[in-house]
Chains A and B, each alone.
Chain A
Amino acid sequence: MPQAWQLLQAARLTRIMQSLQDARQLPQQLRFLARTPIVPAVDAEIMARFTGYVTIADLVADDQRAVTYQNSKVSYDTTNIPNIKHGQALTQAMLNQLQSLMGGSALPNDMGVFTNYENRVIDGLLAGVRQRMEALIIAMQLDSLSYDRLGIKITNASWGMPSDLKVTPSVSWDTAGSATPVNDLWSVRRTARVRYGQEYNRISMSTQAFMYMIATTEYQNKARTFLAPNVSFTNLNAADLTFQQNLAESVLGMKIELYDARAWSQGPDGSLVSTPLLPITKVILSNSDDDGDPTAFDFANGITTESIVAGLAPSEMVGSIGGPTAGPISYATVPNDLNPPQITYWGVARGFPRKHRVQSTAVLTVGSFADTIPVGPPL
Protein backbone atom coordinates (compact mmCIF):
# COMPACT_ATOMS: atom_id res chain seq x y z
CA MET A 1 0.00 0.00 0.00
CA PRO A 2 1.45 3.43 -0.91
CA GLN A 3 2.51 5.59 1.99
CA ALA A 4 -0.26 8.14 1.46
CA TRP A 5 -2.96 5.52 1.62
CA GLN A 6 -1.62 4.42 4.97
CA LEU A 7 -2.75 7.82 6.23
CA LEU A 8 -6.31 6.67 5.64
CA GLN A 9 -5.98 3.39 7.53
CA ALA A 10 -9.11 2.77 9.59
CA ALA A 11 -7.16 1.71 12.66
CA ARG A 12 -5.17 4.94 12.55
CA LEU A 13 -8.25 7.14 12.09
CA THR A 14 -10.04 5.38 14.93
CA ARG A 15 -7.01 5.93 17.15
CA ILE A 16 -7.08 9.64 16.27
CA MET A 17 -10.79 9.89 17.10
CA GLN A 18 -10.43 8.06 20.38
CA SER A 19 -7.36 10.02 21.40
CA LEU A 20 -9.24 13.23 20.67
CA GLN A 21 -11.94 11.96 22.95
CA ASP A 22 -9.51 11.05 25.69
CA ALA A 23 -7.18 14.00 25.54
CA ARG A 24 -9.74 16.75 25.31
CA GLN A 25 -12.40 17.71 27.75
CA LEU A 26 -15.93 17.40 26.45
CA PRO A 27 -17.21 20.69 25.06
CA GLN A 28 -18.75 22.69 27.86
CA GLN A 29 -22.07 22.87 26.09
CA LEU A 30 -22.59 19.10 26.07
CA ARG A 31 -23.24 19.00 29.79
CA PHE A 32 -25.63 16.07 29.86
CA LEU A 33 -23.20 13.83 27.99
CA ALA A 34 -20.39 14.84 30.32
CA ARG A 35 -22.49 13.70 33.29
CA THR A 36 -23.50 10.38 31.80
CA PRO A 37 -21.18 7.40 32.19
CA ILE A 38 -20.53 5.63 28.89
CA VAL A 39 -20.44 1.92 29.56
CA PRO A 40 -19.65 -0.93 27.16
CA ALA A 41 -22.64 -3.13 26.37
CA VAL A 42 -23.77 -5.83 23.99
CA ASP A 43 -26.78 -5.41 21.72
CA ALA A 44 -29.37 -7.33 23.76
CA GLU A 45 -28.29 -5.57 26.90
CA ILE A 46 -28.61 -2.15 25.36
CA MET A 47 -32.23 -2.32 24.38
CA ALA A 48 -33.37 -4.25 27.42
CA ARG A 49 -34.81 -2.03 30.08
CA PHE A 50 -33.39 -3.06 33.39
CA THR A 51 -35.56 -2.23 36.36
CA GLY A 52 -34.09 -2.86 39.74
CA TYR A 53 -34.76 -1.86 43.31
CA VAL A 54 -32.07 -1.57 45.91
CA THR A 55 -33.15 -3.31 49.10
CA ILE A 56 -31.93 -2.29 52.52
CA ALA A 57 -29.28 -4.65 53.86
CA ASP A 58 -29.97 -7.20 56.55
CA LEU A 59 -28.20 -7.41 59.87
CA VAL A 60 -26.27 -10.65 59.98
CA ALA A 61 -24.68 -12.09 63.07
CA ASP A 62 -21.12 -13.37 63.05
CA ASP A 63 -20.66 -16.78 61.46
CA GLN A 64 -24.13 -16.69 59.93
CA ARG A 65 -24.96 -16.79 56.25
CA ALA A 66 -26.44 -13.78 54.54
CA VAL A 67 -29.24 -14.17 52.00
CA THR A 68 -29.39 -12.89 48.48
CA TYR A 69 -32.37 -11.22 46.84
CA GLN A 70 -33.41 -10.98 43.24
CA ASN A 71 -35.14 -7.64 42.93
CA SER A 72 -34.55 -6.82 39.34
CA LYS A 73 -36.25 -7.67 36.13
CA VAL A 74 -35.31 -7.18 32.52
CA SER A 75 -37.89 -6.39 29.90
CA TYR A 76 -36.90 -6.47 26.26
CA ASP A 77 -37.78 -3.92 23.65
CA THR A 78 -38.19 -4.84 20.00
CA THR A 79 -36.53 -1.73 18.67
CA ASN A 80 -33.12 -2.01 17.08
CA ILE A 81 -30.20 -0.07 18.43
CA PRO A 82 -29.59 3.00 16.33
CA ASN A 83 -26.26 3.71 14.75
CA ILE A 84 -25.03 7.25 15.24
CA LYS A 85 -23.17 7.91 12.07
CA HIS A 86 -22.27 10.60 9.58
CA GLY A 87 -19.57 11.29 7.04
CA GLN A 88 -17.65 14.02 5.28
CA ALA A 89 -16.16 13.84 1.82
CA LEU A 90 -12.56 14.89 1.27
CA THR A 91 -12.30 18.11 -0.68
CA GLN A 92 -10.64 18.13 -4.09
CA ALA A 93 -7.84 20.30 -2.75
CA MET A 94 -7.06 17.71 -0.13
CA LEU A 95 -7.24 14.95 -2.74
CA ASN A 96 -4.56 16.81 -4.66
CA GLN A 97 -2.54 17.16 -1.47
CA LEU A 98 -2.81 13.42 -1.01
CA GLN A 99 -1.68 12.95 -4.60
CA SER A 100 1.44 14.98 -3.94
CA LEU A 101 2.15 12.79 -0.94
CA MET A 102 1.78 9.68 -3.05
CA GLY A 103 4.16 11.14 -5.65
CA GLY A 104 6.77 11.70 -2.99
CA SER A 105 7.15 15.34 -3.95
CA ALA A 106 5.71 16.77 -0.79
CA LEU A 107 7.81 18.31 1.92
CA PRO A 108 8.75 16.08 4.87
CA ASN A 109 5.71 15.60 7.09
CA ASP A 110 3.77 17.70 4.62
CA MET A 111 4.20 20.68 6.99
CA GLY A 112 1.20 19.33 8.85
CA VAL A 113 -1.22 20.59 6.23
CA PHE A 114 -2.90 17.30 5.56
CA THR A 115 -2.69 16.07 9.15
CA ASN A 116 -4.24 19.25 10.52
CA TYR A 117 -7.01 19.10 7.98
CA GLU A 118 -7.65 15.48 8.82
CA ASN A 119 -7.75 16.22 12.55
CA ARG A 120 -10.32 18.96 11.98
CA VAL A 121 -12.49 16.63 9.90
CA ILE A 122 -12.36 13.83 12.44
CA ASP A 123 -12.91 16.28 15.29
CA GLY A 124 -15.98 17.62 13.51
CA LEU A 125 -17.32 14.12 12.96
CA LEU A 126 -16.74 13.26 16.61
CA ALA A 127 -18.48 16.45 17.75
CA GLY A 128 -21.47 15.56 15.59
CA VAL A 129 -21.66 12.05 17.06
CA ARG A 130 -21.43 13.52 20.55
CA GLN A 131 -24.17 16.05 19.83
CA ARG A 132 -26.50 13.21 18.82
CA MET A 133 -25.57 11.33 22.00
CA GLU A 134 -26.30 14.48 24.00
CA ALA A 135 -29.69 14.84 22.30
CA LEU A 136 -30.55 11.21 23.10
CA ILE A 137 -29.52 11.61 26.74
CA ILE A 138 -31.65 14.75 27.08
CA ALA A 139 -34.57 12.88 25.49
CA MET A 140 -34.08 10.17 28.12
CA GLN A 141 -34.13 12.75 30.91
CA LEU A 142 -37.30 14.26 29.41
CA ASP A 143 -38.71 10.74 28.93
CA SER A 144 -39.77 11.53 25.41
CA LEU A 145 -38.01 10.80 22.15
CA SER A 146 -39.45 11.51 18.74
CA TYR A 147 -37.31 11.21 15.63
CA ASP A 148 -38.21 11.02 11.97
CA ARG A 149 -35.34 11.17 9.56
CA LEU A 150 -33.73 9.04 6.87
CA GLY A 151 -36.17 6.18 7.37
CA ILE A 152 -35.88 5.90 11.14
CA LYS A 153 -39.10 6.89 12.86
CA ILE A 154 -39.43 6.95 16.64
CA THR A 155 -42.54 8.47 18.19
CA ASN A 156 -42.84 9.36 21.86
CA ALA A 157 -40.44 6.71 23.10
CA SER A 158 -40.50 6.48 26.89
CA TRP A 159 -38.02 5.30 29.49
CA GLY A 160 -40.78 4.71 32.04
CA MET A 161 -40.67 7.90 34.10
CA PRO A 162 -43.60 8.09 36.57
CA SER A 163 -46.41 10.32 35.31
CA ASP A 164 -46.35 12.55 38.40
CA LEU A 165 -42.78 13.52 37.56
CA LYS A 166 -43.78 14.66 34.06
CA VAL A 167 -45.75 17.69 34.98
CA THR A 168 -47.43 20.48 33.03
CA PRO A 169 -48.43 23.48 35.19
CA SER A 170 -51.96 24.63 34.43
CA VAL A 171 -50.73 28.22 33.97
CA SER A 172 -47.76 28.66 31.63
CA TRP A 173 -44.76 30.62 32.86
CA ASP A 174 -45.14 33.34 30.24
CA THR A 175 -48.28 34.49 32.06
CA ALA A 176 -46.54 36.83 34.47
CA GLY A 177 -49.56 37.71 36.58
CA SER A 178 -50.85 34.28 37.52
CA ALA A 179 -48.08 31.74 36.83
CA THR A 180 -46.53 30.14 39.90
CA PRO A 181 -43.13 28.81 38.79
CA VAL A 182 -41.63 28.60 42.29
CA ASN A 183 -44.54 26.57 43.64
CA ASP A 184 -44.51 24.43 40.49
CA LEU A 185 -40.87 23.49 41.01
CA TRP A 186 -41.31 22.96 44.74
CA SER A 187 -44.36 20.73 44.17
CA VAL A 188 -42.49 18.39 41.84
CA ARG A 189 -39.49 18.34 44.14
CA ARG A 190 -41.71 17.43 47.09
CA THR A 191 -43.50 14.67 45.13
CA ALA A 192 -40.17 13.09 44.18
CA ARG A 193 -38.84 13.34 47.71
CA VAL A 194 -41.91 11.96 49.49
CA ARG A 195 -43.09 9.41 46.98
CA TYR A 196 -39.85 8.15 45.49
CA GLY A 197 -37.16 9.12 47.98
CA GLN A 198 -35.44 11.11 45.27
CA GLU A 199 -33.85 14.46 46.05
CA TYR A 200 -33.31 17.09 43.35
CA ASN A 201 -30.80 19.87 43.76
CA ARG A 202 -30.43 21.20 40.22
CA ILE A 203 -32.72 22.80 37.67
CA SER A 204 -31.78 22.92 33.98
CA MET A 205 -33.72 25.27 31.75
CA SER A 206 -33.38 27.56 28.77
CA THR A 207 -32.56 31.22 29.27
CA GLN A 208 -35.95 32.08 27.79
CA ALA A 209 -37.81 29.98 30.36
CA PHE A 210 -35.68 31.54 33.09
CA MET A 211 -36.51 35.07 31.91
CA TYR A 212 -40.21 34.24 32.00
CA MET A 213 -39.84 32.71 35.46
CA ILE A 214 -38.17 35.74 37.02
CA ALA A 215 -40.75 38.05 35.45
CA THR A 216 -43.67 36.46 37.29
CA THR A 217 -45.33 38.20 40.21
CA GLU A 218 -45.13 35.07 42.34
CA TYR A 219 -41.37 34.77 41.90
CA GLN A 220 -40.75 38.46 42.54
CA ASN A 221 -42.83 38.38 45.72
CA LYS A 222 -40.84 35.43 46.99
CA ALA A 223 -37.50 36.90 45.90
CA ARG A 224 -38.30 40.19 47.60
CA THR A 225 -37.16 38.81 50.96
CA PHE A 226 -33.69 38.21 49.56
CA LEU A 227 -33.23 41.83 48.46
CA ALA A 228 -32.11 44.79 50.53
CA PRO A 229 -35.05 46.77 51.99
CA ASN A 230 -34.41 49.76 49.74
CA VAL A 231 -34.12 47.68 46.54
CA SER A 232 -37.10 46.64 44.51
CA PHE A 233 -37.33 44.59 41.35
CA THR A 234 -37.55 47.72 39.22
CA ASN A 235 -33.97 48.50 40.33
CA LEU A 236 -32.70 45.18 39.05
CA ASN A 237 -31.51 44.46 35.57
CA ALA A 238 -33.28 41.36 34.25
CA ALA A 239 -30.54 40.92 31.65
CA ASP A 240 -27.90 40.51 34.36
CA LEU A 241 -28.19 36.75 34.23
CA THR A 242 -25.42 36.01 36.72
CA PHE A 243 -27.06 38.10 39.43
CA GLN A 244 -30.55 36.86 38.61
CA GLN A 245 -29.33 33.27 38.59
CA ASN A 246 -27.77 33.65 42.05
CA LEU A 247 -30.94 35.27 43.38
CA ALA A 248 -33.13 32.53 41.90
CA GLU A 249 -30.92 29.84 43.44
CA SER A 250 -31.50 31.45 46.85
CA VAL A 251 -35.25 31.60 46.27
CA LEU A 252 -35.59 28.03 44.98
CA GLY A 253 -32.94 26.35 47.10
CA MET A 254 -31.56 24.54 44.07
CA LYS A 255 -28.74 25.20 41.65
CA ILE A 256 -29.90 26.65 38.35
CA GLU A 257 -28.12 26.00 35.09
CA LEU A 258 -29.11 27.79 31.93
CA TYR A 259 -28.69 25.52 28.95
CA ASP A 260 -29.10 26.81 25.41
CA ALA A 261 -26.91 24.48 23.34
CA ARG A 262 -28.11 24.03 19.79
CA ALA A 263 -27.29 21.61 17.00
CA TRP A 264 -27.47 22.11 13.26
CA SER A 265 -28.97 19.56 10.96
CA GLN A 266 -29.70 19.48 7.26
CA GLY A 267 -33.29 19.21 6.10
CA PRO A 268 -34.40 17.08 3.12
CA ASP A 269 -34.25 20.21 0.95
CA GLY A 270 -30.69 20.94 2.02
CA SER A 271 -31.64 23.82 4.30
CA LEU A 272 -29.86 24.16 7.62
CA VAL A 273 -32.07 23.92 10.67
CA SER A 274 -30.97 24.87 14.18
CA THR A 275 -32.66 23.08 17.06
CA PRO A 276 -32.12 23.50 20.79
CA LEU A 277 -30.92 20.26 22.36
CA LEU A 278 -33.11 21.01 25.38
CA PRO A 279 -36.50 22.30 24.16
CA ILE A 280 -36.92 25.81 25.56
CA THR A 281 -40.25 25.02 27.25
CA LYS A 282 -38.86 22.05 29.19
CA VAL A 283 -37.34 22.27 32.66
CA ILE A 284 -35.39 19.32 34.07
CA LEU A 285 -34.90 18.63 37.76
CA SER A 286 -31.99 16.37 38.64
CA ASN A 287 -29.48 15.62 41.35
CA SER A 288 -25.81 16.43 40.89
CA ASP A 289 -24.95 13.38 43.02
CA ASP A 290 -26.26 11.20 40.17
CA ASP A 291 -23.67 12.60 37.77
CA GLY A 292 -21.48 9.75 36.58
CA ASP A 293 -23.51 7.21 38.56
CA PRO A 294 -24.35 4.24 36.31
CA THR A 295 -27.07 3.06 38.71
CA ALA A 296 -29.07 6.18 37.83
CA PHE A 297 -28.54 6.30 34.07
CA ASP A 298 -25.85 5.57 31.53
CA PHE A 299 -25.15 5.48 27.84
CA ALA A 300 -24.76 1.89 26.66
CA ASN A 301 -22.03 1.89 24.06
CA GLY A 302 -22.19 -1.06 21.68
CA ILE A 303 -19.77 -2.67 19.27
CA THR A 304 -19.95 -0.91 15.93
CA THR A 305 -21.18 -3.17 13.14
CA GLU A 306 -18.67 -1.63 10.74
CA SER A 307 -15.80 -2.94 12.83
CA ILE A 308 -17.33 -6.44 12.77
CA VAL A 309 -18.07 -6.72 9.06
CA ALA A 310 -14.99 -4.89 7.83
CA GLY A 311 -12.82 -7.94 8.25
CA LEU A 312 -15.32 -10.43 6.80
CA ALA A 313 -15.25 -9.42 3.15
CA PRO A 314 -13.48 -6.94 0.89
CA SER A 315 -15.00 -3.50 1.32
CA GLU A 316 -14.31 0.08 0.38
CA MET A 317 -12.90 0.76 3.82
CA VAL A 318 -9.20 1.61 3.73
CA GLY A 319 -7.38 -0.88 5.94
CA SER A 320 -9.00 -2.62 8.85
CA ILE A 321 -10.13 -1.51 12.28
CA GLY A 322 -8.61 -4.63 13.77
CA GLY A 323 -11.68 -6.45 15.08
CA PRO A 324 -14.88 -5.61 16.93
CA THR A 325 -14.54 -2.15 18.45
CA ALA A 326 -16.92 0.01 20.48
CA GLY A 327 -17.65 3.47 19.15
CA PRO A 328 -16.94 6.11 18.39
CA ILE A 329 -14.73 4.91 15.55
CA SER A 330 -13.56 6.60 12.39
CA TYR A 331 -12.55 5.26 9.01
CA ALA A 332 -12.25 6.32 5.40
CA THR A 333 -13.79 4.75 2.31
CA VAL A 334 -12.61 4.91 -1.28
CA PRO A 335 -14.78 3.52 -4.12
CA ASN A 336 -13.13 0.42 -5.58
CA ASP A 337 -13.57 1.68 -9.15
CA LEU A 338 -12.63 5.24 -8.15
CA ASN A 339 -15.78 6.42 -9.85
CA PRO A 340 -16.01 9.08 -8.71
CA PRO A 341 -12.52 9.41 -7.26
CA GLN A 342 -13.69 10.30 -3.82
CA ILE A 343 -12.60 9.73 -0.27
CA THR A 344 -15.08 9.97 2.58
CA TYR A 345 -14.33 10.09 6.29
CA TRP A 346 -16.88 8.52 8.63
CA GLY A 347 -17.59 8.80 12.34
CA VAL A 348 -19.70 6.05 13.94
CA ALA A 349 -21.02 5.05 17.34
CA ARG A 350 -23.73 2.57 18.22
CA GLY A 351 -25.63 2.93 21.42
CA PHE A 352 -28.56 4.22 23.38
CA PRO A 353 -29.07 5.91 26.76
CA ARG A 354 -30.59 3.83 29.55
CA LYS A 355 -32.37 5.03 32.64
CA HIS A 356 -32.02 2.59 35.50
CA ARG A 357 -33.61 4.75 38.18
CA VAL A 358 -36.69 6.13 36.49
CA GLN A 359 -37.23 8.86 39.09
CA SER A 360 -33.69 10.20 38.78
CA THR A 361 -35.01 13.18 36.81
CA ALA A 362 -38.30 15.04 36.59
CA VAL A 363 -39.53 17.36 33.89
CA LEU A 364 -41.88 20.31 33.71
CA THR A 365 -43.45 21.55 30.49
CA VAL A 366 -43.84 25.21 31.32
CA GLY A 367 -45.64 26.53 28.25
CA SER A 368 -45.60 26.56 24.49
CA PHE A 369 -43.77 29.83 23.95
CA ALA A 370 -41.11 30.52 21.34
CA ASP A 371 -37.71 32.08 21.81
CA THR A 372 -37.83 35.87 21.66
CA ILE A 373 -34.48 35.90 19.85
CA PRO A 374 -34.90 34.55 16.31
CA VAL A 375 -32.50 31.79 15.34
CA GLY A 376 -31.31 30.98 11.84
CA PRO A 377 -28.18 30.13 9.87
CA PRO A 378 -25.53 32.61 11.04
CA LEU A 379 -23.90 32.95 7.64
Chain B
Amino acid sequence: MATLTRDEMEAVIKGGGSVLYQGRTLSSVAQLPSVAELAQGDPDKEAAATADLQAQIAQLQQQLATLQPSAPAAKSSKKKPTDPAEGDGGDTPSS
Protein backbone atom coordinates (compact mmCIF):
# COMPACT_ATOMS: atom_id res chain seq x y z
CA MET B 1 0.00 0.00 0.00
CA ALA B 2 2.39 2.71 -1.10
CA THR B 3 -0.39 4.96 -2.32
CA LEU B 4 -4.04 4.14 -1.81
CA THR B 5 -6.05 3.33 -4.91
CA ARG B 6 -9.55 4.73 -5.23
CA ASP B 7 -11.01 1.33 -4.38
CA GLU B 8 -8.90 1.17 -1.22
CA MET B 9 -10.01 4.68 -0.28
CA GLU B 10 -13.64 3.64 -0.73
CA ALA B 11 -13.04 0.57 1.45
CA VAL B 12 -11.55 2.73 4.22
CA ILE B 13 -14.56 5.07 4.19
CA LYS B 14 -17.09 2.26 4.03
CA GLY B 15 -15.28 0.71 7.02
CA GLY B 16 -16.09 3.79 9.08
CA GLY B 17 -12.85 5.72 8.65
CA SER B 18 -11.53 8.68 6.69
CA VAL B 19 -8.80 9.21 4.13
CA LEU B 20 -6.18 11.93 4.34
CA TYR B 21 -5.52 13.11 0.81
CA GLN B 22 -3.34 16.13 0.09
CA GLY B 23 -4.06 17.62 3.49
CA ARG B 24 -7.82 17.10 3.27
CA THR B 25 -9.77 14.66 5.43
CA LEU B 26 -12.25 12.86 3.21
CA SER B 27 -15.05 11.13 5.09
CA SER B 28 -17.48 10.31 2.30
CA VAL B 29 -17.10 8.53 -1.02
CA ALA B 30 -18.51 11.56 -2.85
CA GLN B 31 -15.51 13.62 -1.70
CA LEU B 32 -12.95 11.23 -3.12
CA PRO B 33 -10.83 12.35 -6.06
CA SER B 34 -11.57 10.80 -9.44
CA VAL B 35 -9.49 7.97 -10.86
CA ALA B 36 -8.00 10.40 -13.40
CA GLU B 37 -7.02 12.86 -10.68
CA LEU B 38 -5.36 10.11 -8.67
CA ALA B 39 -3.42 8.91 -11.72
CA GLN B 40 -1.89 12.27 -12.60
CA GLY B 41 1.90 12.30 -12.61
CA ASP B 42 2.36 8.55 -12.90
CA PRO B 43 2.62 7.45 -16.56
CA ASP B 44 1.67 3.84 -15.82
CA LYS B 45 -1.38 4.82 -13.80
CA GLU B 46 -2.32 7.46 -16.36
CA ALA B 47 -2.22 4.83 -19.10
CA ALA B 48 -4.26 2.42 -17.00
CA ALA B 49 -6.78 5.13 -16.12
CA THR B 50 -7.04 6.20 -19.77
CA ALA B 51 -7.66 2.63 -20.87
CA ASP B 52 -10.22 2.19 -18.12
CA LEU B 53 -12.05 5.40 -19.01
CA GLN B 54 -12.02 4.56 -22.72
CA ALA B 55 -13.46 1.16 -21.92
CA GLN B 56 -16.20 2.87 -19.93
CA ILE B 57 -16.88 5.29 -22.82
CA ALA B 58 -17.07 2.35 -25.26
CA GLN B 59 -19.47 0.57 -22.95
CA LEU B 60 -21.66 3.66 -22.60
CA GLN B 61 -21.65 4.23 -26.37
CA GLN B 62 -22.69 0.64 -26.86
CA GLN B 63 -25.61 1.15 -24.45
CA LEU B 64 -26.49 4.38 -26.24
CA ALA B 65 -26.43 2.59 -29.58
CA THR B 66 -29.02 0.12 -28.36
CA LEU B 67 -31.36 3.08 -27.84
CA GLN B 68 -30.78 4.59 -31.32
CA PRO B 69 -33.28 2.52 -33.41
CA SER B 70 -36.14 3.30 -31.06
CA ALA B 71 -35.53 7.07 -31.24
CA PRO B 72 -36.80 7.62 -34.87
CA ALA B 73 -39.66 5.23 -34.19
CA ALA B 74 -40.71 7.31 -31.23
CA LYS B 75 -40.55 10.44 -33.37
CA SER B 76 -42.58 8.90 -36.14
CA SER B 77 -45.12 7.54 -33.67
CA LYS B 78 -45.57 11.07 -32.37
CA LYS B 79 -46.04 12.40 -35.89
CA LYS B 80 -48.47 9.67 -36.96
CA PRO B 81 -51.61 11.27 -35.51
CA THR B 82 -50.94 14.56 -37.24
CA ASP B 83 -52.94 15.04 -40.37
CA PRO B 84 -50.89 16.29 -43.34
CA ALA B 85 -53.92 18.26 -44.46
CA GLU B 86 -54.00 20.23 -41.22
CA GLY B 87 -50.35 20.22 -41.84
CA ASP B 88 -47.24 21.77 -40.66
CA GLY B 89 -46.31 23.41 -43.89
CA GLY B 90 -46.81 20.42 -46.17
CA ASP B 91 -43.56 18.72 -45.34
CA THR B 92 -43.50 15.09 -46.32
CA PRO B 93 -41.62 12.54 -44.35
CA SER B 94 -38.36 11.67 -46.01
CA SER B 95 -38.88 7.95 -45.55
Pick from A87-95, A165-173, A302-310, A351-359 the stretch touching chain B. Answer: A165-173
B67 beta carbon closer than 8 Å to chain A: no
Query: CB distance A166 to B17 under 8 Å?
Result: yes
Complex Cα distance, B21 from A164, in Å, reads: 12
Task: Return the contact of B18 from the options A168, A171, A174, A175 (Cβ within 8 A).
Answer: A168
B76 beta carbon closer than 8 Å to chain A: no
- B27-79 residues with Cβ-Cβ distance < 8 A to A are 27
Query: CB distance A167 to B3 under 8 Å?
Result: no
Task: Report chain A residues within 8 Å CB of B13.
Answer: 163
Task: Report chain B residues within 8 Å CB of A166.
Answer: 16-18
Query: CB distance A175 to B17 under 8 Å?
Result: no
Task: Report chain A residues within 8 Å CB of B18.
Answer: 163-168
**Interchain nearest-CB distance for B82 vs A (Å):** 59
- A37-87 residues with Cβ-Cβ distance < 8 A to B are none
Task: Report chain A residues within 8 Å CB of B1.
Answer: 172, 367-368
**Interchain nearest-CB distance for A370 vs B (Å):** 12
**Interchain nearest-CB distance for B3 vs A (Å):** 5
**Interchain nearest-CB distance for A194 vs B (Å):** 11
Query: CB distance A168 to B25 under 8 Å?
Result: no
Query: CB distance A187 to B20 under 8 Å?
Result: yes
Known: A164-B27, A170-B21, A187-B23. A158 touches B3 (CB 8 A): no
The 8 A CB mask of A175-211 against B (1 = contact, 0 = none) is 1001000011001100100000000000000000000
Query: CB distance B4 to A168 under 8 Å?
Result: yes
Interface size on A, residues (CB 8 A): 25
Query: CB distance B16 to A171 under 8 Å?
Result: no
Task: Report chain A residues within 8 Å CB of B22.
Answer: 170
**Interchain nearest-CB distance for A311 vs B (Å):** 44
Known: A175-B2, A187-B25, A367-B1. A167 touches B16 (CB 8 A): no
Task: Report chain A residues within 8 Å CB of B15.
Answer: 156
Task: Report chain B residues within 8 Å CB of A188.
Answer: 20, 25
Number of A-B contacts (CB under 8 A): 60
Task: Report chain B residues within 8 Å CB of A165.
Answer: 18
Task: Report chain B residues within 8 Å CB of A217.
Answer: none
**Interchain nearest-CB distance for B5 vs A (Å):** 10
Task: Report chain B residues within 8 Å CB of A325.
Answer: none
Closest to A281 in B: B1
**Interchain nearest-CB distance for B78 vs A (Å):** 51
Task: Report chain B residues within 8 Å CB of A175.
Answer: 2-3
Known: A164-B18, A166-B16, A166-B17. A171 touches B23 (CB 8 A): no
Query: CB distance A184 to B20 under 8 Å?
Result: yes
**Interchain nearest-CB distance for A36 vs B (Å):** 23
**Interchain nearest-CB distance for A177 vs B (Å):** 10
Known: A163-B27, A187-B25, A191-B25. A171 touches B2 (CB 8 A): yes
Query: CB distance B19 to A158 under 8 Å?
Result: no
Closest to B17 in A: A166
**Interchain nearest-CB distance for B14 vs A (Å):** 10
Query: CB distance A171 to B17 under 8 Å?
Result: no
The 8 A CB mask of A304-348 against B (1 = contact, 0 = none) is 000000000000000000000000000000000000000000000
Q: Can you list 21 A-B contacts with CB-CB less than 8 angstroms, sorted by A residue number? A: A163-B18, A164-B25, A165-B18, A166-B17, A167-B25, A168-B9, A168-B17, A168-B20, A169-B20, A170-B4, A170-B9, A170-B20, A170-B21, A171-B3, A171-B4, A172-B2, A175-B2, A178-B3, A184-B20, A188-B25, A365-B17
If A172-B1, A188-B25 are given as contacts, then 8 extra A-B residue pairs at C-beta distance below 8 Å, sorted by A number, are A163-B27, A166-B17, A168-B4, A169-B20, A170-B22, A175-B3, A184-B20, A187-B23
Residues of A near any B CB (own CB < 8 A) = 143, 156, 158, 163-172, 174-175, 178, 183-184, 187-188, 191, 364-365, 367-368
